Structure 1
Amino acid sequence: MKFVKLHGTGNDFVVVDARALDREWSELAAVMCDRHFGVGGDGLILACKSDRADVRMRIFNADGSEAEMSGNGMRCLVKFAVDGGIVAPRGDEFDVETGGGVLRVRITTENGLVTSVRESMGPPHLDPREIPVAIEAVAPVTSLEVAVDGHRLDVTPVSMGNPHAVYFQSSPVADYPLHDIGPLVEHHALFPRRTNFEVVRVLGRDTAEMRVWERGVGETLSCGSGASATMVAARLRGLVDNAMELRVPGGVLQLEWDGEGDVILTGPVVESFRGEWPA
C-alpha cells in the first residue's frame, strides 16, 4: 500500500489513496503513526471518493480514533490529491468533503506542485450542545471554568467541526505545563467527546502564539482547527481584530474571521517522503 508523508507547519500525516482500498483503518492508523515502529505521524488521512465534492477526507488520530476535521491535515490532503492527479481543479479552487462539511480550498503552486493552501474552515459552532459541552448556556460561551489538578482554567469552548477549549494567558506558552494539564482537560467530564486544548498568548491585535494538546494525539507542533478556534475565541473576547498571524512551534499560520461566516486559514504544506506499507 503506497503512502505519502506530508506536514503542515510540523503537523505531520501519513496520506493514502483509499478510493479502491478497504482496510481496518483505525487499527492501521495506530500502527502506521507509531514513531518508533511505524512511519510516524500525528494521524492517517484517507483520500476517498465523494458524491458531494471533488474528494473526501477521512482522518484518524494516532491512537486510532476517527476525527471530524483537521485544518493542517486538509492542506496535506489537498497537496496529495492535486500533485497526485486525484483532483484536477479548474483554476485554483475546489471542494473537499470533511466530517465538518464540504469546504472550499484555494491552492498556490510552484513548478506545478502545491506549496500552500487557503482553506475555508467553515463557520464556528458556539452552541454548547453542538461543541459539545455539558452545560446549559446561551451561545457564545466566552468564559467557562474548568477545574483540573488544582488549576482553575478560564477557557472559551469552540467547535470547528471538532471540539476545542481555548485558554489565554499572559506568560509565554513555552512555559505552560501542557503535558501535565493537557490530558486532564482533554478527558474532563465537561467534554463528553473529549476536547482539543489550546494555550494562547496574544501578542498584539494581529499576532498571537499557541501550543496545542490534540485529542487522541497529545502535543503537536501545529493544529489547523485549533488555530481557527483560537482566532474565533480571541475575537469573541475582543483581543484581536479580523486577521491574525498565529505562531505555533512548527511555523506560522494566517487566520481571518470577521465575526460571521467561515474562518479562513492559510498555511504551507510540504511533502516529506514517499513509501510503501507492507499491507
Structure 2
Amino acid sequence: MRLSFIKMHGLGNDFVILDGRGAELPRLSEAQIRALADRHRGIGFDQLIVLAPSDAADFAMRIHNADGGEVGACGNASRAVAVLHGKPAQVETAGGLIAVRPGDGQAEVAMGQPRFEWPDIPLAYAMDTRDMPVGWDMLERPGAVNVGNPHVVFFVDNDVADVPLDRLGPEIEHDPMFPDRINVNVAQIVSREAIVLRVWERGAGLTLACGTGACATAAVAYRRGLVDAQVSVTLPGGTLIIRHDEGGGLHMAGPAQESYRGTFDLDDFS
C-alpha cells in the first residue's frame, strides 16, 4: 500500500505527517513507525503525526515518537499542523483538545492548563512537584508538570550545554519514579523574560526543539516566581514564546514550515 506523507518541522524538531482527514488510513505498528523513523534506512523524523476525522473537534491528531510509542501532545507538531491546515481549528489529541491559530509561517497553540498534582504527572508516589527532593548527579530538585505530556524541569546556573543530557536523559526518563516515563528539561534562567533550554524527549532522545518542553519549563519557572507571565524560551533549534493567560492557561507561539512531500510503500517497512 502506497501512502503520501508531508515532512514538516518546527525549529528543527521534524515530523512526518500522514493526512487522514479525508480518507481512512491504516494503523501503523510500532515496528513500522520505528523503521520509518530510521534516518538512514527510512524517512527519518522525531515524531510521526497521523491526522484523522473527529467528532469532538475539527480533526484529530495522533502523535507517535520515533520509538513507536504514542504520546498525548507535541507542541511543535501542533504548530506544523496549524500551518498545514491553514486556518484556526480545534484539534483533538490524546492529551485533550487544543486550539491552533496559524499565521504567516507561524502559529499559536492554546495548550490548556498545566497540571501539577503528582498523580497527573504521573509519579510513582506522592511528592511535592514544585520542588522534588530528588537528584541525578548534578541535576537536583526538579519541578514536575503535565502539559499533555509529563515533564521534569531542572534549573542550572551553568551553560545547559555543559550538562551530559545524552547520558542523564535516558537514566531519568526510565527511572521507576516515572511509571509513564518522563521528558527531561535542563534550563538556565537568563532573565525574567528569557530562558535557555535543552530537552531529552522520551522515546525520541535529544531534539533541536520541544514545544511541550518549552511550555513545561515556563510553567515550572512561573510557578516558582522565576519569570514573568510571558517568556522567550531558546532551544538549540530556535526560540518559542510562551505566555500564561489570566486564567493560567499556556499559549505557545513560534514558526513551523513544510520541508517536502513524498510517498512510500508501507510494505517496505513491515
Deviation at 1:182, TM superposition (A): 0.5
Distance 1:266 1:131, change over 3 A: same
| Contact persistence 1:235–1:259 (CA under 8 A) | no
The code of the aligned residue for 2:64 comes to F
| Contact persistence 1:232–1:259 (CA under 8 A) | no
* 1:1-279 alignment, distance < 5 Å: 1-18=3-20, 19-82=23-86, 89=87, 93-109=88-104, 115-137=105-127, 141-148=129-136, 150-151=137-138, 153-258=140-245, 260-279=247-266
Q: Deviations over 1:204-233 (max 9, x none)?
A: 000010000000010001111110000100
- The equivalent of 1:85 in structure 2 is none
Deviation at 1:257, TM superposition (A): 1.3
Number of residue-to-residue matches in the alignment: 262
In structure 2, C-alpha distance between the alignment counterparts of 1:59 and 1:195, rounded to whole Å: 16
Q: TM-score, normalised by structure 1?
A: 0.90
| Contact persistence 1:108–1:117 (CA under 8 A) | yes
| Contact persistence 2:9–2:15 (CA under 8 A) | yes
The code of the aligned residue for 1:31 comes to A
The code of the aligned residue for 1:9 comes to L
Deviation at 1:26, TM superposition (A): 2.5
| Contact persistence 1:47–1:81 (CA under 8 A) | no
Q: TM-score, normalised by structure 2?
A: 0.93
The code of the aligned residue for 1:5 comes to K
In structure 1, C-alpha distance between the alignment counterparts of 2:195 and 2:167, rounded to whole Å: 23
Deviation at 1:258, TM superposition (A): 4.9
Gaps of 5+ in 2: none
In structure 2, C-alpha distance between the alignment counterparts of 1:79 and 1:25, rounded to whole Å: 27
Gaps of 5+ in 1: 83-88, 110-114
Q: Deviations over 1:162-217 (max 9, x none)?
A: 10000000111111110011001101111110000000000000001000000001
Q: Helix, strand or coil for the counterpart of 1:277?
A: strand
| Contact persistence 1:47–1:58 (CA under 8 A) | yes
State, as a whole percentage, how many aligned pairs show the same letter: 40
Q: Helix, strand or coil for the counterpart of 2:221?
A: helix
Deviation at 1:234, TM superposition (A): 0.5
In structure 1, C-alpha distance between the alignment counterparts of 2:111 and 2:174, rounded to whole Å: 25
Q: Helix, strand or coil for the counterpart of 1:35?
A: coil
In structure 1, C-alpha distance between the alignment counterparts of 2:102 and 2:121, rounded to whole Å: 29
